[in-house]
Structure 1
Amino acid sequence: MTTKVLIVDDHALFADALERVLSNQNMELRLVNTATEAMEAAPVWGPEIALVDLGLPDMSGVELGEKLIEMLPELKILAVTAMNEPNALRATIKAGFHGFITKSMPLQQFVASIETALSGQMVIPHKLAAPAAGQMSAEERQAALLIKQLTQRELEVLTLLARGAGGEEIAQTLSVSRNTVRSHVQNILTKLQVHSRLEAVAFAARHNVVKVSHSSLEHA
């Protein structure tokens, strides 16, 4: 079974070279040059992973990643950049990316990075792992550990709560019972160590897990 890989990069030489390497790895590729093209292609084509250049001409790669995750919550995203900056790494992780790879990396290593991300693990260059962690506050490190405990379905429920959805709407959206929604919400509260839906939404917004709509404050 082939893996669908969306490549979002406006540097033609690099993108073409990457495409040649990945096309020999049982991967089906779609190459686009802008964030706009990516947002049009992703919902229709349904990639399993996206490689997103952080320096796109029409939108930052981090912002694009956030939008793609909203469209396709199961999508894995790897940031691809010429930069070797811990701050850039932290921004992508906060946005929900599964990792960060630099264009200086041998192209063959991109295959291993994609496989790692698809397995659900984070992809972080060794040279950046320590500096990035060192720049995180104790609160950020603790929050990252708590958030990491959430399952994909719990993240979906939390995202819907942040958008202002009530229990009935969440149940209908996810095609589950109200009791199942209550169970997911209770698990979220326990794992995030908070006491209410409002606190959970505030925690998630503070740590850039979700974006909050004003109506969420009324339903939480």
Structure 2
Amino acid sequence: MSADPSVPPAPSVRVLLADDQELFRRGLRLLLDAEDGIVVVAEAADGREAVARAVATSPDVVLLEARMPHRSGLEACRRITASVPGARVVVLSGSDDEADLYEAVRGGAMGYLLKDSTVEEVVQAVRVVAAGQSLISPAMALKLVSGMQPTAAPGEAPPRPAARLTDRELEVLRLVARGLGNREIAVRLSISENTVKNHVRNMLEKLGLHSRVEAVVYALRAKLVEVS
């Protein structure tokens, strides 16, 4: 059956790639451009250029390396999320340092993947984050919970007790930490999507968190969910 010509196609997810390794950047561009519904609109070779290109092109998703010259990717992440509110940042990095993960989350990143991720995992991350969900590489999630007690990273306040959450808010937090979006949570709990949004907002406010990614990190470090 052919597509209805009266129905406009869904807009492609517009992606900015920022990485100081040209070969990696160009290879990733070829792979993403080959995917339906994804188009790479710009590239950047360092953090400073990443911010300028993000401001100029207003991408939906920014994939950037944490450690780049002329302004780190993590600093670029903070500047991009502040200057281009519609852009969702995913750190795609060779660094598996937990400190980089924490800084990325505090800088507003919606996801954190390692460069040994498969092409399918990167494509999924672009689509998931563009839809407003969060995603952390399983390897990084495991580093957060492997042998850890819910104590703080250097310079970071310890996880706040989740006891102040209602049973439903705690249930929503666990599902958010497993990577489910609002619609999936609504189906799982047999409640409306608007009710889920209210629970997420209340849960973040009570815990003093600012994003779903912070909620994921909180839940992992407080051992409210298990990572297999």
Letter in 2 for 1:192: E
Instruction: Select the residue among 17, 34, 43 that pairs with 1:31.
Output: 43
Amino acid at match of 1:141: P
Find the partner of 1:192 among 205, 208, 223.
205
The aligned counterpart of 2:133 is 121
Question: Structure 2, unaligned stretches of length 5 or more?
Answer: 1-10, 174-200, 215-228
Q: Which residue of 2 aligns with 1:69?
A: 81
The corresponding residue for 2:31 is 21
Does residue 142 of structure 1 match 2:160?
Answer: yes
**Aligned with residue 6 of structure 1, among 8, 16, 20:** 16
Distance in 1 between the 2:206 and 2:97 partners? 32
Partner of 1:60: 72
Cα distance, 1:112 vs structure 2:
0.6
**Higher relative helix content:** 1
Between the aligned partners of 2:47 and 2:204, the Cα distance in structure 1 is: 34
C-alpha contact (below 8 Å) 1:90/1:132 kept by paired residues: no
- Counterparts in 2 of 1:136 and 1:80: CA distance versus 1, 3 Å: farther
Q: In the TM superposition, what whole-angstrom CA distance separates every residue of 1:63-95 from its partner, at most 9, and x where no partner exists?
A: 110000110122110011112232322221121
Whole-angstrom CA distance in 1 between matches of 2:136 and 2:118 = 15
Deviation of 1:142 after TM superposition, in Å, equals 3.2
What residue in structure 1 maps to residue 105 of structure 2? 93
Change (3 A) 1:137 1:43: same
Query: Where do 5+ consecutive residues of structure 1 fail to align?
Result: 150-187, 195-199, 209-220
The secondary structure found in structure 1 opposite 2:63 is strand
Structure 1 position 49, deviation (Å): 0.7
AA aligned to 2:151 is S
Relative distance call for 1:32 and 1:137 in structure 2 (3 A) is same
Instruction: State the alpha-carbon separation in 1 of the partners of residues 122 and 72 from structure 2.
Output: 21
The residue that corresponds to 2:220 in the other structure is none
> Kindly, what percent of the aligned residue pairs are identical?
19
Q: Are 1:89 and 1:132, in contact at CA under 8 Å, matched by a contact in 2?
A: no
What are the superposed Cα offsets for residues 33-75 of structure 1, whole Å, 9 maximum, x if unpaired? 1222222221221100100111111111111100001101221
Deviation at 1:193? 4.8
Deviations 1:5-59 (A, max 9, x none): 0001110111111101100123221111122222222122110010011111111
Q: What is residue 181 of structure 2 aligned with on the other side? A: none
TM-aligned CA deviation for residue 189 of structure 1: 9.8
| Partner of residue 177, structure 2 | none
Query: If the length of structure 2 is used for normalisation, what is the TM-score?
Result: 0.60
Contact persistence 2:43–2:53 (CA under 8 A) = no
State the aligned residue count. Answer: 159
**1:140 Cα deviation after fit:** 4.2
TM-score, length-normalised on structure 1?
0.62
Residues 141 and 115 of structure 1: CA distance in aligned 2, closer, same or farther (over 3 Å): farther
After TM superposition, give the deviation of residue 136 of structure 1 in Å. Answer: 5.1
Residues in 1 aligned to 2:23 and 2:60: alpha-carbon distance in whole angstroms: 24
